[in-house]
Amino acid sequence: MNAYLALFKVNLLERLQYKWDLFLGGFGTVVYTFALFHLWKAIYSQSTIGTFTLLALSWYTLIGQVLRSAGGRPVNDISEQIQNGTIVSFLNKPVQFLYLQASTQYGKRLFQALSGFLLGGVMLSFLIGFIPLQLIHLLPLLLIFFLGTYINFILGFSLATFAFWIEDARPIHWIYDKVIFIFGGFLFPLDILPAGLQAISSKLPMAYFVYYPAKLAVQFSWPLFWQIIGGQAIYILVLTLLAHYLLRRGTKNLSVNGG
């Protein structure tokens, strides 16, 4: 555990050396949220979107963007490590490669995500106001956010392991990233989808790191909280086992092919 925490700290401090990168990363979140805010504002002049008010949907957009960026993109690092063979040096160490990557990604992305939330939050506060969030809900939300971003990471890690077979898994991750836009509730809440697609999308793991956590933040209820955390726990268990399995199979393929 100490090794993972140390790696997280190293990557965190390294990212702090590039303050302008953090600011620009957060500014990208602001631009995206600003554009969608005006889109939702135009739509709300004609109709409504499910149970979401304009205030709730605006903050939903910001939180979804932050959650999507917080889990990082392990596919880029892992594909490169497999291609150049440096992954062997990590596999020979007495640490789990999966959690090594998680520590690295969280260290790289934490301050960028916080920067985006703070800058976007200030902007939305001036444009439309604050979401009605009680202090007692803060810790449950942070737990849901963390588990959600871990699901995002573990999905990205699992896709990245395909680089053992096809060397570059980034095209697969690109497709997955676009699926998140629609079926993960990133571009808009799943409430907009037709009933059939909504029923399917709401059961997918992507919904548990974008749609449900962002919805809980703007429409908090304890029944929804327990529903989300139960679904997240199941997906984390299943996806972690899958990631370990793919990693083991992939390393065998690596040794057969000579890297």
For the chain, the structural domain boundaries read 2-257
Please report the pLDDT score of residue 1 as a whole number.
60
Distance of alpha carbon 155 from alpha carbon 145, whole angstroms = 15
For residues 55 and 40, which has the higher predicted lDDT (pLDDT)?
55
Per-residue pLDDT reduced to its tens digit, 144-175: 999 999 998 899 888 888 888 876 778 887 88
The pLDDT-based confidence of 230 (bands split at 50, 70, 90) is very high
pLDDT digits (tens, 9 = 90+) for 205-215: 999 999 999 99
**Tens of pLDDT along 47-74?**
666 778 888 888 998 898 888 877 667 7
What pLDDT sits at residue 16?
62
Here the tokens at position 167 are 């060397």
| C-alpha neighbours within 13 Å on the C-beta side of residue 246 | 19
- Of residues 151 and 188, more confidence is placed in 151
* pLDDT the model gives residue 25: 65
Overall pTM surpassing 0.75 (yes/no): yes
Q: In the structure, what pLDDT confidence band is assigned to residue 187 with cuts at 50, 70 and 90?
A: confident
Q: Give the pLDDT confidence score for residue 73 in this predicted structure.
A: 73
The pLDDT of residue 257 is above 80? no
CB-based contact 256:170 (threshold 8 Å): no
Q: What is the largest CA-CA distance in the chain?
A: 61
Strand partners of residue 49: 52
Q: Any idea of the CA torsion for 249, 250, 251, 256, to the nearest 10 degrees?
A: 90
pLDDT at 258: 46
Helix, strand, coil shares, percent, the chain, to 5: 80, 0, 20
Lowest mean pLDDT among 6-10, 55-59, 120-124, 196-200: 6-10
Residue 57: how many other CB atoms lie within 10 Å: 24
pLDDT classification of 45: cutoffs 50, 70, 90: low
Q: What is the mean pLDDT of residues 31-44?
A: 81
CA distances for 29 relative to 86, 173, 208, 213, 220, angstroms: 33, 21, 20, 18, 23
| pLDDT(259) > 50 | no
